[in-house]
A and B are shown apart, each in its own frame.
Chain A
Amino acid sequence: MKSRLIPWIAGALIVAGILFAVVTPAQAIKKEIDAQELQKLQSSGAWVIDVRTAYEFSSAHIPGALNVPIDKLPQAAAGWNKSQAIVVYCATGARSANALAYLSANGFRKLYDLTGGMTAWNGKTQSGGGQGLASVGAGTVKTAGKPVFIDFAGSA
């Protein structure tokens, strides 16, 4: 009797497993990571997306990162594979949090945010790759013999 029941029990367990996998949605991975984890993810094929402006990107960015300014993200991400692991960073973490929220809401499952952004990044950086400080011939600010701090402000 027992030997007759075993195939039925095994079959029931397999069906239950299949139903569980189909009905339960895959949990999105969305977490904050540090520089070391970023490098590990990058070497295992994760994309590293810099959501700052081209100007910021060209000044310094994480080697191997792709520049997708946050305002261009919806357009760019429309063609991405949603199971692709993606690490997002910006200057301090504010824009990357918005980028992650957007990607998560649009079905991307493996998302990571570099804690503290470029401000906290202590690894190597690369410059160039966009229109920025290096390409506009900066370095010719007229001074009165003292160092200068320039604050481009948004309002008076």
Chain B
Amino acid sequence: MKPLVERLKKQYAGKVEFRRYVDDVDPVGNQLAQQFNVQYVPTFVFVNKDGSVSGQPIVGGVDVSVLRQRLDALK
């Protein structure tokens, strides 16, 4: 999924902040993973600019069109 996410990151530059946390490496990521009870990777979480979580997280491989749809829905 990494190349796909990198592509999206370029396309949404300036509009959406992309954060990538690698399992057991990043302490901030670990804290967030606990908050969201992340059990499997990849897991994608979508957050509106006010900090509220948008919809349900996506777990596992997913089509780019689904990710785009969710990104476009962020407020």
Residue numbers of A with Cβ under 8 A of B are 52-53, 55-56, 59-60, 91-92, 94, 119, 127, 131-133, 136-156
Contacts and interface: CB of A to CB of B under 8 A. Distances in A.
A137 B44 CA distance: 17
A156 B42 CA distance: 12
Q: On chain B, which size bracket covers the interface?
A: 35 or more
Nearest to B2: A153
B42 A152 contact: yes
Of B16, B18, B45, B62, the most chain A CB neighbours within 10 A belong to B45
Nearest to B52: A139
Given A55-B38, A155-B22, A143 B29 contact: no
Interface string B35-73: 111111111111111111110111111110010000100
Contact of A55 (B16, B18, B39): B39
A55 B25 contact: no
Interface of B: 1-2, 5, 8, 12, 15-23, 25, 29, 32-33, 35-54, 56-63, 66, 71, 74-75
Contacts of B40: 53
Given A143-B17, A146-B15, A155-B22, A133 B51 contact: no
Of B1, B8, B33, B60, the most chain A CB neighbours within 10 A belong to B60
Main secondary structure of the interface of A (DSSP, over half): loop
A50 to B, nearest CB: 12
Contacts of B17: 143-144, 146-149
Contacts of A140: 35, 51
B5 A151 contact: yes
A59 B8 CA distance: 24
A68 B2 CA distance: 29
Contacts of A55: 37-39, 59
Given A141-B51, A143-B50, A153-B41, A148 B22 contact: no
29 contacts: A52-B59, A53-B39, A53-B40, A53-B59, A59-B57, A92-B60, A94-B60, A131-B37, A138-B45, A139-B53, A141-B47, A141-B51, A143-B50, A146-B16, A146-B17, A147-B15, A147-B49, A147-B75, A149-B12, A149-B18, A149-B47, A151-B5, A151-B42, A151-B44, A152-B23, A152-B43, A153-B23, A156-B22, A156-B25
